[in-house]
Structure 1
């Protein structure tokens, strides 16, 4: 008799225990998270290796102790008679699971076991076996937990979820054992075992794993039957005759499944992969795969069955904007076309399933790879399939307001020489977003909701915005970009949101600009400064212009187009300086202009040049690593503008702007600088930003000499 440990994904241990008890009813088993333990004979372990559809590894215990240190682990491993398990001319590897204060990483734990194995052979034979991490002859595993430490022989030699039929997979593949767990939790397996043979349909089948697992189960094909390598094959305790007899018996047990299995996917490429994988698994003739849209596919199965699918999760915001309207349409289709069916969907985004407008009967927590997921079960009964007029109603308070805004703005939009403008800015308190158009794209910026608003309500309202906006704005859902505005701290102020590097060109009053809608919180063009940029252009003729905190240089572009004889663009970000140069190239601006990458505070302090027009639009706050200290516009603007004043040529002009909503200009600024100061905030506010009078503050300051 041996002690065995069978591992699986966390959340599947109860199912694995049920499966082992079904395969070997005479065994007594118990479970812990992600594992099942039992005592049995070698034939029991072979049987699980061959027939378990849920296990990852089958481990045979070689030794255990209550120790916890690295020395304890070495001593434990040193007690094992390794030469009774393999020879010094064979290769081996050691995996290690667990960590504590003394054994603080898995590499250290594996090294301690490996050292004990090598020392054993050196002492006995003055010869050491070689380590092969990729394809060893035999594999061992050390495990550490609160109860102590153990050393095991890995009988499988690798994870059993790898059935060897999946040469290729789709974009978000599901492990084979998790796919079978979904079938068990859906109820399909239980009904099949009871003789109630129900059709199975996977509408977003990807590479076909769920249906292949179902077909192999219905055909009584042992999941380990075609595995090419086993960990026990080079083990001295292996019983090859017993193993071969079990393989032969498994071959005889195969049968025709007699169940309708259908898979569809909108991607023809992955459908082709699914067909190939099913053929490799020996069940290709039992599954019908088609390239089809799940929201329109009409079944031809003659009785209700099960829909089981690993749906797209919408992990990326861009994917979410496309999936929300799709799931809303799919919900209607399911209700109309699949009455009395049962539905089981795996997702990491439970909120997205709310678009189906279905009431769930049960939820199970799973781990797919390293992603926490829920398997959500629904019954498409009469109550769930009822479609009310409210469900079909496409309008909402938000949708009605957005349509109204567009209608009121239509004449103004047509009169403007730009394809970038704001159409909505938290007009309704319950829909706390801003919506901007950039050419054929739309950007939705979600403001952080008040703490008193329940999270599920804010999510539901945002989803409503993401569904309605593409339809009303007349764009495909994939051309909607979602961003979340919240207080940024530390390095998060400067980190990329994404890495898509998708840029588009937009235009404004005779100028063109590159904008990046995906990778940063801001796009590269502040739309509320449209009129301010025009004012700079009007004042720039034959002037020496300085643009401080230049961002992507849009103001510099207008200064150059306005006839400035020199434009100096200063920003501490190398990314923004390069971006500004590209905007100059895009507008075919030639001649000598300066682009300086430096902290504006340090640069202005040391600058000796004079400028006729200076534009200053600093951030509200910054503590970039490129700065000495931090910047707070309320605290620091007086001292900074004093330095700027020293660089202003006689008769020159400063335009000072910022976006801190509660900003107040220092009252002593005029007296201490001798500047004539006039606030022009209202007249620089474009019509599409009139909803929010404090979107920015702006002053024009002129030399009084």
Structure 2
């Protein structure tokens, strides 16, 4: 009989070798599959034993020149379906492939279904039922280049699911891929040597390693295979196959070590190992892979699926992790072999170890590479003398951080400021801004010019992150890294992460909730510090309006300053709710303090009443679908003032601000409106923003 074994990309060669060792005759090998010949008992043995296949299909028919519905029906109608189904068997058809006449896979599947039903109707005057979810027998039809292959699902789905997984962490690795990594690591050549996974997560690699070393067939724990539901299934013969496979087990003394920084995930790993019956063979402990210590006097193999974005907080943590591991490997793991799976080659280079071999794999939809390394004496000596930085010039960035912090020291202490900008592209090659939020830091990378090489830019950013952490003594997990670029439409409101790590910062008697990880902006515009202070000092007994209010921080200061009424307007529901949280943080409650989620331009068109103090800080440009029209602050500012003037009281003040570089106030048209403007941009720049005089523009606008 001919079968096809399915697997993931990159595992085909390993699967072919496994099938050959089990006794199968290997045929065509293609992307994600291996064809083989085997008698039924051997096919059952393969289902029980394979660690690299995800599914086994048995071919029952094939035909060339299948072009239309009629060809499809005739091929299916005249198969001996009685060998695989009975009138009482439930079945389902999975169809893949199309051509100009067979355009819909669901329709093609129905054609084959009808043919099967007609077969039984003609012979028995009864028909089997279709059950798409829990079919007893599944037929797989694969159509390619006018050729149709018909298969019976022999194993059932989920061969890679061993049944021991009680829980898992984020971004888990599939069991069959774990087995492939173990195979490629070289550890199986001598299983008496230690195997160490410093980022073990839920323990899949080590559990699979224990099973492979002891020759435990993973399928022995499976409740039922699809072939057990076929009419020709021989129970006694199958039991002989099971006994043969079970007798091949050979328990060994193993030294398997797992470590992870997440205690909760470690508990899942221990539960999984217990369910697999190998918990006595694996030693799990909590530890930070960025600060590895020796785990064995004897050299062995380090094998790990290294964290990437989905599994850790962000770029800074990852860079710190890879750098730290590279240093530790060279210091404590001489003569060890390393096999490290990563989805980011740029991060792998941070290890600063010369690669021995590389193997490409797919972890679900993610392209990954298993890099192997041999830490021989030459490798360790050469690597130990290498610098931790990509560029020696990066020390200038560290020195500037130190200089700037020293320059701001007295001001920070005098005003009790813990949130401030420390660096803003002071050195052109290091084009970032660094903001401090209590004991956290945010690094904003400005989009590099097209002529700047991307690899150079990435390496400089790696140095920036490393030096920010080291110079300011801030752990990597407390550093957020973001890219500053022009926002379009609703993107300014979208999340960039889902960590939900908020904190509270203080400013001039107010408290604000900030979130440095989940959004492009943190919830607090630091450059508006003095603008908010002005509002606090001038809001007493005033009717205050905050338009384009963001998270309502200016409204909080107006409330602290004793405003008579406060109206806060923003288009984003997220930010309006955030503003309400800021009010709750400061125990502010007043029925005259109101929030409106609305398009500010449309709200202004219908606004009534008067306001004595208005804070107007519109975006530079917005074409959000939620706004009535596209808005450009340079083009539309006079029209905006004309609308706002209608609700500005006789002696009222309009505090206007924007951050468009090169913005020019049209004073002539402003005067025609009966308004006058006083530029106070210089006065609203606190010492931490003096280096960037174009961070924003500010005016006080009043009636003439």
TM-score, structure 1 length as denominator?
Answer: 0.91
| Cα deviations by residue, 1:365-406 (Å, 9 ceiling, x for unpaired) | 211122221111111122331244553689833222222221
- Structure 2 counterpart of 1:546: 545
**Corresponding residue for 1:59?**
57
| Contact 1:180 1:210 survives alignment (8 Å) | yes
Aligned to 2:32: 34
How many angstroms apart in 2 are the aligned matches of 1:500 and 1:484? 18
Question: Aligned ranges for residues 451-466 of structure 1 at < 5 Å?
Answer: 451-466=450-465
Per-residue Cα deviation, 1:604-648 (whole angstroms, up to 9, x for no partner): 233342333322111011122222221111111122212223333
Measured in 2, the distance between the counterparts of 1:538 and 1:112 equals 78
Any conservation in 1 of the 2:171–2:311 contact (CA below 8 Å)?
no
Tell me if structure 2 keeps the 8 A contact 1:552–1:579.
Answer: yes
Per-residue CA distance 1:68-127 (angstroms, 9 max, x = gap): 666654544333332221212223333444566766676555444444433433343333
Match of 1:366 in 2: 361
1:396 counterpart SS class: helix
Retained in 2: the 8 A contact 1:541–1:562? yes
| Matched-pair contact (CA < 8 Å) for 2:302–2:337 | yes
Structure 1 position 579 matched with structure 2 position 574? no
Is 1:429 matched up with 2:428?
A: yes
Aligned residue for 2:249? 254
Residue 152 (structure 1) shift = 0.9
SS of equivalent residue, structure 1 residue 224: helix
Partner of 1:619: 619
Alpha-carbon offset, residue 511 of structure 1? 1.9
Confirm or deny: 8 A CA contact 2:550 2:576 kept in the other structure: yes
Contact 1:543/1:611 (8 A) holds in 2: yes
Q: Distance in 1 between matches of 2:402 and 2:224?
A: 63
Query: Could you list the per-position Cα deviations for residues 413-443 of structure 1 after superposition, in whole angstroms to 9, with x for gaps in the alignment?
Result: 1112432211111222232221222233322
Match of 1:126 in 2: 125
Q: For 2:629, what is the secondary structure of its paired residue?
A: coil
1 CA distance for matches of 2:167 and 2:523? 40
- Secondary structure at the aligned position of 1:567 is classed as strand
CA distance in 2, matches of 1:20, 1:246: 16
Kindly provide the CA deviation profile for residues 655-690 of structure 1, in whole angstroms up to 9, marking residues without a partner as x.
211011122222432332232222111111111111
Deviations 1:284-328 (A, max 9, x none): 4544444444433423353x3321111222336724433332332
1:296 matched to 2:295? no
616-625 or 68-77: bigger deviation:
68-77
Cross-structure match for 1:699: 699
Normalised by the length of structure 2, the TM-score is: 0.91
CA distance in 2, matches of 1:149, 1:508: 71
Q: What does 1:325-340 correspond to in 2, within 5 Å?
A: 325-340=320-335
Query: Shift of the alpha carbon at 1:174?
Result: 1.7
Residues 579/197 of structure 1: CA separation in 2 closer, same or farther (3 Å cut): closer
Residues 425 and 435, structure 1, Cα contact 8 Å, conserved in 2: yes
What is the deviation of 1:231? 0.9
Question: 1:289-688 alignment to 2 at 5 Å?
Answer: 289-294=284-289, 295-302=291-298, 304-315=299-310, 318-386=313-381, 387-388=383-384, 391=387, 396-587=395-586, 588-590=588-590, 592-688=592-688
Further displaced range: 5-14 or 93-102: 93-102
In the alignment, the residues of structure 2 paired with residue 546 and residue 173 of structure 1 have an alpha-carbon distance, to the nearest angstrom, of: 50
**Aligned-residue offset at 1:4:** 1.6
Q: SS at the partner of 1:9?
A: coil
1:77 counterpart residue number: 76
Counterpart of 1:224?
A: 219
Q: More deviation in 640-649 or 96-105?
A: 96-105
The corresponding residue for 2:178 is 179
Instruction: Give the Cα–Cα distance (whole angstroms) in 2 for the partners of residues 603 and 271 of structure 1.
Output: 53
Q: Find the aligned partners of 1:652 and 1:101 in 2 and give their Cα distance.
A: 71
Q: Kindly state the Cα deviation for residue 8 of structure 1 after the two structures are TM-superposed.
A: 0.5
Query: Is 1:202–1:264's contact at 8 Å kept on the other side of the alignment?
Result: yes
Q: Give CA deviations for 1:46-68 in whole Å, capped at 9, x if unaligned.
A: 33223322111111112234436
Q: Does 1:214 align with 2:209?
A: yes
Pairwise CA distance, 1:146: 4.0
SS in 2 for 1:481: strand
Give, in whole Å, the separation in 1 of the partners of 2:405 and 2:672.
47
Contact 1:92 1:139 in 2 (8 A): yes
Structure 1 residue matching 2:220: 3-state secondary structure: coil
CA distance in 2, matches of 1:389, 1:566: 65
Where structure 1 has 5 or more consecutive residues not aligned to the other structure, the ranges are none
**Alpha-carbon shift at residue 12 of structure 1 (Å):** 1.3
Contact 1:317 1:482 (8 Å CA) reproduced: no
Whole-angstrom CA distance in 1 between matches of 2:257 and 2:225: 33
What whole-Å deviation, never above 9, does each CA across 1:229-251 have from its counterpart, x for those lacking one? 11111212334444333222222
What is the CA distance between 1:160 and its match in structure 2? 1.6
Segment of structure 1 superposing worse, 464-473 or 619-628: 464-473
C-alpha separation in 2, matches of 1:504 and 1:269? 23
Are the counterparts in 1 of residues 536 and 560 from structure 2 also a CA contact under 8 Å? yes
- Of 562-571 and 400-409, more deviation after overlay is shown by 562-571
CA distance in 2, matches of 1:535, 1:111: 72
Tell me how far apart the structure 2 counterparts of residues 563 and 223 of structure 1 sit (CA, whole Å). Answer: 71
SS of aligned partner of 1:375? strand
CA separation of 1:409/1:334 partners in 2, compared to 1, >3 Å: closer, same or farther?
A: same
* Alpha-carbon contact 2:618-2:657 (below 8 Å) kept: yes
3-state SS of the aligned residue for 1:376? strand
Q: 1:475, 1:71 → 2: CA distance?
A: 70
- Looking at structure 2, the residues matched to 594 and 289 of structure 1 have their Cα atoms a distance apart, in angstroms, of 54
Q: Tell me the SS of whatever aligns to 1:153.
A: strand
* Alpha-carbon distance between aligned partners in 1 of 2:237 and 2:454, rounded to the nearest angstrom: 58
Contact 1:550/1:571 (<8 A) preserved: yes
Q: How many residues align?
A: 697
Going from structure 1 to structure 2, the CA distance change for 1:345 and 1:73 (only over 3 Å counts) comes to farther
Shift of 1:35: 0.5
1:543 and 1:211 mapped to 2: Cα distance?
67
Cα distance in structure 1, aligned partners of 2:286 and 2:499: 28
Say if 1:114 and 1:319 are closer, same or farther in 2 by CA, change over 3 A: farther
> Structure 1's 640 and 360: CA in aligned 2 closer, same or farther, altered over 3 A?
same
Q: Deviations over 1:155-191 (max 9, x none)?
A: 10122212233333343322221111112222334x3
- Residue 47 of structure 1 aligns to a residue whose secondary structure is helix
SS at match of 1:225: helix
Q: Contact (CA 8 Å) 2:45, 2:242: kept in 1 or not?
A: no
Q: For the structure 1 residues 312 and 102, does the alpha-carbon distance in structure 2 shift closer, same or farther, using more than 3 Å as the test?
A: farther
User: Aligned in 2, Cα 1:256/1:318: closer, same or farther, shift over 3 Å?
Assistant: closer
